[in-house]
Structure 1
Amino acid sequence: MLKAIQTSNAPSAIGPYSQAIQAGDFLYVSGQIGINPKTGEVVEGIEQQTKQVMENIKAILTEANSDFSNVVKFTIYLKSMDHFATVNEIYGGYLQQPYPARATIEVSRLPKDVLVEIDAVVYTG
């Protein structure tokens, strides 16, 4: 059985998708970008975008009665690998060991021309 997860504490979907989908013991969190859910605007700069992305994911996890300790895999999409160290430091500040698996990919373009997007797979069982 599938269940959509929706919270006003994270940005609304900007297309035909859910913020997250609960499927059995797993939660699939859609890619989050640095949109402030209160203003609907993209925040400026890689540091602020990364913090906002992680806060958006945190809000979705909270709505699903979960947290970062249950994330088994993140995928990070970067506009430029030049931002890798900055994103890594901020992202790491939200996590505790054992750290989840992760892939980091440089892409040519992201929605709303943001600098970073992150999605997650979460074990909730």
Structure 2
Amino acid sequence: MKTRNLTLLLLFVSLLTGAFLWAQKSVPLSTLPFSPARKAGPTLYVSGQVPRTAEGQDVRQSVEAETRQVMENIGRILKQQGYTWDDVVNSTVYLKDINDYQEMNKVYASYFKNGFPARATVGGVEIVFGFRVEISCIAYKESK
């Protein structure tokens, strides 16, 4: 009897979790309780960006495609706030699978023409909406 109850409980929890994860995938990013970026003095803090286009389409073809979309999202935010890739001083990359490091790194590196920011890369993490790549960064621009 205990085994049956435990089995039913596990089944119920897994069904609830699956339904919750499915429902999360349909939530637009604009409804989440954080800003894409916040400015504090000359410093811009860019929230973790995932591979979703400005039109709300998920990009899931490959790690390279996901990374490219994430970097385009960051680039758009930087430009809107008057910053460039040269102003990025730190970034954090989150990978669902650390084995995707090489593919991500190739795309990531192509966005920096005048040196790279400090960076941490974390692998083996679950990323929101089941994406494989998420990147946040900090940009700094001295006042002139």
Partners of 1:54 and 1:12 in 2: how far apart? 16
Higher helix share: 2
User: Displacement, 1:12?
Assistant: 4.7
Give yes or no for contact 1:29–1:120 (8 Å, CA) kept in 2. yes
Q: Which residue of 2 aligns with 1:83?
A: 100
Whether 1:123 aligns to 2:140 is yes
Q: How does 1:32-47 map to 2 (within 5 A)?
A: 32-38=49-55, 40-44=56-60, 45-47=62-64
Give yes or no for contact 2:98–2:124 (8 Å, CA) kept in 1. no
Larger Rg computed on CA atoms: 2
Q: TM-score, normalised by structure 2?
A: 0.75
Q: Which moved more, 1:75-84 or 1:93-102?
A: 93-102
1:48-92 per-position Cα deviation (integer Å, ceiling 9, x unaligned): 110000000000000001111000001000000110000000000
Partners of 1:85 and 1:37 in 2: how far apart? 26
Q: TM-score, normalised by structure 1?
A: 0.86
Q: Which residue of 2 aligns with 1:19?
A: 36
**Unpaired stretches in structure 2, ≥5 consecutive residues:** 1-27
Out of 56, 80, 85, the position equivalent to 1:68 is 85
Q: Which residue of 1 aligns with 2:47?
A: 30
Out of 69, 90, 109, the position equivalent to 2:126 is 109
Higher strand share: 1
Q: Which moved more, 1:73-82 or 1:107-116?
A: 107-116
Partners of 1:108 and 1:27 in 2: how far apart? 25
Query: Which amino acid in the other structure matches residue 41 of structure 1?
Result: Q
Q: Which residue of 1 aligns with 2:111?
A: 94
Q: Which residue of 2 aligns with 1:6?
A: none
- How many aligned residue pairs are there? 114
**Unpaired stretches in structure 1, ≥5 consecutive residues:** 1-10
